[in-house]
Chain A
Amino acid sequence: MKQFIKQLKNGLIDQNPVLVQLLGMCPTLATTTSVDNALGMGLAATAVLICSNVMISLLRKLIPSQVRIAAYIVIISGFVTAVELLMRAYFYPLYQSLGLFIPLIVVNCIILARAEAFASKNRVLPSAVDGLSMGLGFTLALVLVATVRELLGMGTLMGVRILPEALSMTFFILPCGAFVTLGFVIAAVQKLRSHRAKKAADDHDGEVDA
């Protein structure tokens, strides 16, 4: 249980796939125009990540290592197609607003990276937890960026008006705003991380002195 909590914290914060490992930039920039879209994209990728991690972990002794990348891509694209069809059936407006980025989950480097780095070496249950925590970390990062962009760009959050319309700056909804917002969010994360690292080093020094 302790192990699982550690994995969850790792995926959400310490090794966040977007904000720390800097993977999966295309959907992070493209689908964060509103919190709804970001949440939909994040959860769709999480579902694919859990399923593909479980499947690859189950098959890890059967897949020859020379063709493993091709095998992973086939497994991942199978699950992506399933998620795409499910979303078209049950969440049609979301399916339309995410557009091509649902099939493009196939080439999202986070999923292939977790398959290669974790699921191919670990048992089924830890792999599923790894998929869940990395997927939630991805979702968290998307929602963070989308909150800034939707609030400043349209003055709304999940469609509910927060700021008066006169204050909304279209810049943040445009593609250029996506790059700039993500740049500032990652800068803030780096600032926090260096602050924490410094604090930890100070604490450590204190212990040595005592």
Chain B
Amino acid sequence: MNFGEILLMMFTAILVENFIFSRFYGICPFLGVSSQPDTALGMGLAVTFVITISSAVTWAVYEFLLLPFELDFLKTIAFILVIAALVQFIEMFLRKFIPSLYASLGIYLPLITTNCAVLSSALLNVQNGYGFIESVCFGLAASLGFTLAIVVFAGVRARLRDAKPPKSFEGFPLTLIAAGLLAMAFAGFSGVRF
């Protein structure tokens, strides 16, 4: 891939095939941690951090470990272990060397192991046959799309708090319907094809 193609792939991953609104990866943190805009931003940045690094590491694991030994059917197990170890490692590293960043991201990090956005971006890299640079760029773009979605949605939810819906729609159903409306806005990008 040349530079233009990579840019195009990143644009597609952020807006057209947004992880939340068109592919449904990472819905749990999207619904769970989006009640305040600043915590949403913290979660988004933590996810971006982990996905970008894990894209690089899982690419290396797949290329140098699984493929040479013909173990690629074990990729789900291998990737989830790599991700769990990586999250643990990043947490320890941040606590020791960048305490200010740890203080703002720390509480979100353990949740990320079970965030399906991380595992699915690693698996998508393999499925699409991306090289090292493409994998990292795709991971970065996909997680930026996640961050965009969760921050925008936190803004919407801040306004929803003053709403007075019918009793059975209070809480989760109202949140889901608001997410549906936002997804409709993002569906507009699906017309953008190159």
Interface residues of A (CB under 8 A from B): 22-23, 25-26, 29-30, 69-70, 73-74, 77-78, 80-81, 84-85, 100, 103-104, 106-109, 112, 174-180, 182-184, 186-188, 190-191, 194
Cross-chain pair count, CB within 8 angstroms: 114
Which among B74, B115, B168, B183 has the highest number of chain A CB atoms within 10 Å?
B168
Q: Is the CB of B116 within 8 A of A77?
A: no
Chain B residue numbers with a CB within 8 Å of A175 are: 21-22, 24, 183, 186-187
Interface residues of B (CB under 8 A from A): 21-28, 31, 73-74, 76-77, 80-81, 84, 113-116, 119-120, 123-124, 127, 166-170, 172-177, 179-181, 183-184, 186-187
Chain B residue numbers with a CB within 8 Å of A78 are: 77
CA distance in complex: A70, B85 (Å) = 9
- CB contact under 8 A between A190 and B177, given known A26-B28, A100-B127, A109-B114: no
B93 → chain A, closest Cβ, in Å?
Answer: 18
Q: Which label, helix, strand, loop or mixed, suits the secondary structure of the B interface? A: helix
Q: Is the CB of A30 within 8 A of B180?
A: no
CA distance in complex: A77, B114 (Å) = 12
Closest 10 CB pairs of A and B: A179-B180, A183-B176, A180-B180, A187-B173, A176-B183, A191-B168, A30-B24, A183-B177, A176-B184, A25-B27
CA distance in complex: A103, B124 (Å) = 11
Chain B residue numbers with a CB within 8 Å of A176 are: 21, 180-181, 183-184, 187
Q: Which of A74, A104, A112 contacts B81 (CB 8 A)?
A: A74
CA distance in complex: A25, B172 (Å) = 12
Q: Which of B27, B174, B181 contacts A26 (CB 8 A)?
A: B27
CA distance in complex: A16, B84 (Å) = 28
CA distance in complex: A81, B80 (Å) = 12
CA distance in complex: A182, B127 (Å) = 29
Q: Is the CB of B181 within 8 A of A73?
A: no
Q: Is the CB of A107 within 8 A of B116?
A: yes
Q: Is the CB of B180 within 8 A of A26?
A: no
Q: Besides A29-B24, A78-B77, 7 other CB < 8 A contacts? A: A70-B84, A73-B81, A80-B76, A103-B123, A106-B76, A179-B176, A183-B172
Q: Is the CB of A188 within 8 A of B168?
A: yes
Which residue on chain B has the smallest CB distance to residue A195? Answer: B168
Which residue on chain A has the smallest CB distance to residue B118? Answer: A107
Chain B residue numbers with a CB within 8 Å of A70 are: 81, 84
Chain B residue numbers with a CB within 8 Å of A194 are: 167-168
Q: Is the CB of B114 within 8 A of A107?
A: yes
Which residue on chain B has the smallest CB distance to residue A185? Answer: B173
Chain A residue numbers with a CB within 8 Å of B27 are: 25-26, 29
B80 → chain A, closest Cβ, in Å?
Answer: 5
Q: Which of B80, B180, B187 contacts A77 (CB 8 A)?
A: B80
Chain A residue numbers with a CB within 8 Å of B25 are: 26, 104
Chain A residue numbers with a CB within 8 Å of B114 are: 107, 109, 112
What are some 26 contacts across the A-B interface (CB < 8 A)? A25-B28, A25-B31, A30-B24, A81-B77, A100-B120, A100-B123, A103-B76, A104-B119, A106-B80, A107-B119, A108-B116, A174-B183, A175-B186, A175-B187, A176-B184, A176-B187, A178-B24, A179-B177, A179-B179, A180-B177, A180-B180, A183-B169, A183-B175, A183-B180, A187-B168, A187-B169
